[in-house]
Amino acid sequence: METLTEIIAHIQSYMTSLDWQYIITFIIICYGINHYKIKEGLQKATGTQTRTRYRVIIIGVVYAVGLYFLRGYKLQQIENLFQSFIFALVFHKFIVEALLYWLAKHALPESISKHILTEEQIKKINGNEGK
């Protein structure tokens, strides 16, 4: 029982040390930039086409560097910012996307789902219902 209490205490201290402002705003910024129309506009403006994962990593690094200078972080806080970046990647991929797909499949009408997911993703979700 003592070991379980220690594990929970470590998880609790890890979760409180994360920069939650960075995590939430990073996810919102990435979602906005990876939206269909903005993504197409960036591709036309830069003349390049990058995969979503690389765009997310570039956005995260640029945003973290910006926050480093704006907030005047010290060395210990840089490590927390990096941990927050990694946590945000995992949190977004496994929790937020899974929740959005579940909502689109079970709870949201298609008129709302089309604003959250691409047409290919909606077809994939609807195609899996019959299996």
Residue 123 lies in a domain: no
Q: Of 28, 27, 19, which Cα lies nearest the Cα of 79?
A: 19
* Interatomic CA distance for residues 62 and 57, integer angstroms: 9
Residue 62 lies in a domain: yes
Residue 46 lies in a domain: yes
Residue 79 lies in a domain: yes
Of the listed ranges 16-20, 35-39, 66-70, the one predicted with least confidence: 35-39
Structural domain harbouring 11: 2-93
At 6, the pLDDT band (50, 70, 90 cuts) reads: very high
At 131, the pLDDT band (50, 70, 90 cuts) reads: very low
* Whether the predicted pLDDT of 19 surpasses 60: yes
* Whether the predicted pLDDT of 59 surpasses 80: yes
Whether 81 and 19 have beta carbons less than 8 Å apart is answered as yes
- How many domains does the chain fold into? 1
